[in-house]
Amino acid sequence: MPVLPVDVLWIARYDYGPGWMLRLHHHDYLQMIFFIDGKGVFTVGGRAYPIRGGELLLIRSGEAHEFRAETLVRTLDVKFRIAPGPLLRHLRRAATVQQPNDSSLAPRLERIRVEGEQKPPFYRELCSVLLTEILYLYLREDQHAAPLDESAEDAGAVVHDRVIERAIGFIRQNYSSQLTIREIARACGCTERTLRLHFHAVLRMKPLTYLQRFRIARAKTLIQYSDYALKEIAELVGFQSVHHFTRLFTASQGRSPARWQREYTEGIRKDVYINPRFENRSFTVEEPSELKLQRKLNNARGV
């Protein structure tokens, strides 16, 4: 078995229904939970933290914790161990909850989950590297460092070409519109030919290829974390029709949006073991039926 400085044990994409609870418990490993959206109250070490979407919570070994969801709460949850050393010492002193300024966090965690599901060669080592990066970014944010760059999946690439930077910024802001090469070039203050030359030299692709890839990435995020229908998602990310969206998505991902959505949904609340020796225990309790009935009655009365 590999000896890893950060040993990822388990990961899951998990949803808590309104009123669901995570019973008070503790464990001898660390845990990090990214709250995609929703509201609730998480208690760690006797201190209550109101939770909202976009927050990242760190639970250290031995810390007693519990959670109650007030609305539907969507999460990405990872459990891990860290070898003694500077990283572990820094995490022991870090804040419990952060609002990271990093839109790549969910894709990074999803990458760990996919690696754990598929288990290709060296998947444990790669999961260790991915989580190590997340942890150091967490520590950097904890020390009030400068905002972080977005991932290559979200931004397309980290570049230092002013034409490309302007083009990427313009595409991010306007990808839902019916953009043309002429409009992108005008926003960059250059000709269409110059725009194409810069994209080829820096990103090895055409501007419209980048635009379509960016739209597909945004569509995947909406499929994962929203309740929009596929037709609505196609419109929101700038495709003229759901048929055009389906064709390009299938060519990019190797399966249709409907199949991709179905496979992703089937993975919710599914234990993904990175360390095969780890056994996960569930402490989640659904809202008792009598409380659920009372809540519905209160909502009907406007209480």
Q: What is the CATH number of the domain that holds 24?
A: 2.60.120.10
Q: Which domain holds residue 124?
A: 6-145+278-301
Grouped pLDDT means (10 residues each) for the chain, 303 residues? 84 93 94 95 94 94 95 95 94 91 87 95 96 93 46 45 93 94 96 95 93 93 90 95 95 93 88 92 69 53 52
Q: Do 108 and 229 have their domain in common?
A: no
Token pair of 251, please? Answer: 């060519």
**Residue 247, domain CATH:** 1.10.10.60
Residue 273 located in a structural domain = no
Q: Do 178 and 255 have their domain in common?
A: yes
Q: Do 131 and 13 have their domain in common?
A: yes
- The number of domains in the chain is 2
**Range 159-164 contact pairs with CB under 8 angstroms and sequence separation of 24 or more:** 159/202, 159/203, 161/198, 161/201, 161/202, 163/188, 163/190, 163/194, 163/195, 163/198, 164/198, 164/199, 164/202, 164/203
How many angstroms separate the CA atoms of 35 and 99, rounded?
10
Q: Do 140 and 12 have their domain in common?
A: yes
Q: Which of 56, 39, 37, 57 is nearest to 47 (CA)?
A: 57
Q: Do 85 and 117 have their domain in common?
A: yes
DSSP letters along 155-220, please? Answer: HS-----HHHHHHHHHHHHHTTS---HHHHHHHHTS-HHHHHHHHHHHHSS-HHHHHHHHHHHHHH
Residue 252 located in a structural domain = yes
Residue 155, pLDDT score: 41
The pTM of the full predicted model, rounded to 2 decimals, is 0.73
Residue 3, pLDDT score: 74
Residue 268, pLDDT score: 86
Residue 24, pLDDT score: 94
Residue 74 located in a structural domain = yes
Residue 287 located in a structural domain = yes
Residue 22 located in a structural domain = yes
Q: Do 132 and 162 have their domain in common?
A: no
Residue 47, pLDDT score: 93
Q: Do 96 and 170 have their domain in common?
A: no
Q: Do 126 and 233 have their domain in common?
A: no
Residue 1 located in a structural domain = no
Q: Do 131 and 22 have their domain in common?
A: yes
Q: Do 32 and 93 have their domain in common?
A: yes
Residue 285 located in a structural domain = yes
Q: Do 57 and 163 have their domain in common?
A: no
Residue 4, pLDDT score: 87
Q: Do 141 and 12 have their domain in common?
A: yes
Residue 192 located in a structural domain = yes
